[in-house]
Structure 1
Amino acid sequence: MTTEEKIEKIRNLMVEKDLDGVLLRKRRSFSWLTNGKSNYIMTNIELGVADLLIFRDRVYCITTKMEFARIQEEELTDLECEWITPEWYEGHNGALSSLCQGKTIGMDVCPQTIPNTVGIDLSQELAELTYVLNMNEINRYRWLSRKVAQALESTCRRIEPGMTEFEIQALLAVNVASLGIQTQVLLVATDRRIYQYRHPIPTEKKLDRYAMVVLCGEKWGLVANATRFVHFGALPEELQEKKAQIGRDRLGFQFGYSPWRTY
């Protein structure tokens, strides 16, 4: 599905909801519409630095003068749009308020964040447009899933007793960064910490026998999640049973899953 086809889907949603336009501010929305392009600088927030405002007859991109060249030359080369480029200290809200004045706008963010604008929260409806992946997105997601798994497994093969959780974290971070994959979540726990905490961030604790490494990796607006365990020495009976149970669960999932079905 091309960007133009996705814009048409948004315009159909505008007609259905009787809207004058739709504003996309979230990183995931931008990546979906542009087939994997990026509009972020900071990776720990939802919003990007380039907003897309879609009307029935045109598309605007609002970004600061500071970011304009990169967004135009590297991210939106295939999108025909009009550019609004305020100074960095002015922010986007003034330009957005002016463009949306007197109009009803659907948004992927809380409408109250844009002053003097009549907005409707379309977060759920817009997210639902992204749920079914096209073949290009499926191929990207397969690549990303393989690389996340390979990065984890490569890291696990280099883990040694005596390493701190911070050192294990560093090994994995290098593996994924070299592939252009952003780390959304990276968890490491060793020994008893695996059982004590659901989401154990890395610490200076040293590995004795048992390690868990978790990665949520993002690329092209897609996220792949995986977990791997490493144990040195013979598996205790408790872990042997857990391993067998995971195998049974995985087998049941594979037999119960049908491709192209929505769950």
Structure 2
Amino acid sequence: MSQTTTVVTPPSLLNAAADPADQFRRTAPASAKDRAIKRRRVLDILDAKGQDSLLLTTHTALTWYLDGSRVHISLAGDPIAALLVDREGDHLVTFNNEAGRVAAEELPAGVSLHAVPWYGNLHEAAAAVGRSSGAAAVPLAEAAVATELRAARQQLLPGESARYANLSAELAGIMTDVLSDARPDTTEFELVSALAARVVAAGAEPLVLLCNGSSRSEFRHPLATHSPLGRRAMAVMCARRDGLVANITRWVRFDAGTPDELDAEARIAAVEADIFDATVPGARLDAIFGEIQAAYVRHGFGADQWEQHHQGGPAGYAGRDPRVTAAVTDTVVMGQPFTWNPSGPGVKIEDTVQLMESGLKVLTVDDRWPTTTVNGLQRPVTLQL
């Protein structure tokens, strides 16, 4: 078993306010008030399970519980930290080559930081660090309470709601800027490269970037190619900042559109409107999924269209938390974010929304993008250049 040592924040970092460069230094966005609520929620899970500690090991759980800390290096890799929540406190374990940066930029107040050699085992070290007097208790594994943790993070708290709204609005603005500059001879790679540059400049990580020009409109998950956009194109972007993932799809075209396209765009927006109507506090996700299936038939897409692509679901600290199917029985709560993404042949609609007292609030909004009113809500239409 790897030995861990507590990391002490260097005095130079404690006095960093005197450094002119401090204005550019990142600090963990965590709210002490929000973190206390999250800790109470996890302790409630431990109480219900009759356990004394829980080991958090996934990006989704770690970034939620730490309230926005970055725990990745490679976007394709495992977290570079693990966290033990026990009744005495919170213990974050990371590799020795990450510990200094984590202490300076990612560690919320009240979390004890420990280091393990870069070749050590994070999970073993984190499981052991909270043990006292040689107790042999094994912490509860995250996977054993996946459903309970998902419920604990359903309702966004004030600080994270504000961060999410800001990220979502910035992504919508980026889409407007980049797609407004597109031309028929712009390639798919050029378009997603421009999106990626803007996302990174905004301090976010581009998790998904998709684009299909008119020659590839049949693909619903279109990784970019060197193909030109042609007369019509779709762009999809999912980006993460402070742990939260916002999602958006937009369309652009360079002609007036065909009657069939215009009709399908209106009908897919009607499918989405029916999904929105079903997304109310107390609704079960499997019941909403049934409404999705019925909406495709109701609006002329056929009974099999829901099978051609996932339909989205709750959002927040994962792209979908989870993707909704007939087997997901979670209950919708106030303050919960969603990204539904109904699609049909050559059409798709997708925004990040949050359920508020006044109804669903669209977060991925840029007032410069053209919209139409669908069932009382402003929804995006294709940008015509």
Specify the TM-score bucket, using the shorter chain as the normaliser: 0.7 to 0.9
Q: Distance in 1 between matches of 2:239 and 2:96?
A: 30
Q: Do structure 1's residue 95 and structure 2's residue 125 form an aligned pair?
A: yes
Q: Which residue number corresponds to residue 12 of structure 2?
A: none
CA drift at 1:93: 3.9
**One-letter code aligned to 1:161:** P
Q: Which residue number corresponds to residue 30 of structure 1?
A: 62
Aligned counterparts, 1:48-127, within 5 A? 48-81=79-112, 83-96=113-126, 98-99=128-129, 102-109=136-143, 121-127=144-150
Cα pair 1:19 1:104 within 8 Å, conserved:
no
**One-letter code aligned to 2:246:** A
CA drift at 1:143: 1.2
Aligned counterparts, 1:70-219, within 5 A? 70-81=101-112, 83-96=113-126, 98-99=128-129, 102-109=136-143, 121-195=144-218, 197-219=219-241
CA drift at 1:254: 5.9
Q: Which residue number corresponds to residue 112 of structure 1?
A: none
1:213-233: per-residue Cα shift (whole Å, max 9, x none)?
001111122111111111111
Q: Do structure 1's residue 238 and structure 2's residue 260 form an aligned pair?
A: yes
SS in 2 for 1:74: helix
SS in 2 for 1:160: coil
Q: Distance in 2 between matches of 1:58 and 1:29?
A: 17
Q: Distance in 2 between matches of 1:252 and 1:124?
A: 27
Q: Distance in 2 between matches of 1:246 and 1:2?
A: 37
1:117-148: per-residue Cα shift (whole Å, max 9, x none)?
xxxx2222112110111122222221121111
> Unaligned regions of 5+ residues in structure 1, if any?
110-120
Paired residues, number = 249
Q: Which residue number corresponds to residue 115 of structure 1?
A: none
- What is the RMSD computed on CA atoms of the aligned residues? 2.2
SS in 1 for 2:43: helix
1:179-209: per-residue Cα shift (whole Å, max 9, x none)?
11211111010113112x1201001112221
CA drift at 1:252: 5.0
CA drift at 1:98: 3.7
**One-letter code aligned to 1:225:** N
C-alpha spacing 1:134/1:204, structure 2 compared with 1 (3 Å): same
> Unaligned regions of 5+ residues in structure 2, if any?
1-32, 282-333, 337-354, 356-385
Cα pair 2:83 2:126 within 8 Å, conserved:
no
State the TM-score, normalized to the length of structure 2. Answer: 0.60
C-alpha spacing 1:202/1:233, structure 2 compared with 1 (3 Å): same
Cα pair 1:39 1:49 within 8 Å, conserved:
yes
Q: Which residue number corresponds to residue 382 of structure 2?
A: none
**One-letter code aligned to 2:120:** E
Q: Distance in 2 between matches of 1:159 and 1:89?
A: 47
CA drift at 1:151: 1.1
1:143-200: per-residue Cα shift (whole Å, max 9, x none)?
12111111112111111111211111111111111111211111010113112x1201
C-alpha spacing 1:181/1:24, structure 2 compared with 1 (3 Å): same
Q: Which residue number corresponds to residue 220 of structure 1?
A: 242
SS in 2 for 1:224: strand
CA drift at 1:94: 4.1
SS in 2 for 1:192: helix
C-alpha spacing 1:86/1:255, structure 2 compared with 1 (3 Å): closer
**One-letter code aligned to 2:49:** K
Superposed structure 1 runs of 4+ greater than 3 Å apart: 96-101, 246-259
More helix by share: 1
State the TM-score, normalized to the length of structure 1. Answer: 0.86
Q: Which residue number corresponds to residue 44 of structure 1?
A: 76
C-alpha spacing 1:250/1:16, structure 2 compared with 1 (3 Å): closer
Q: Distance in 2 between matches of 1:136 and 1:204?
A: 41
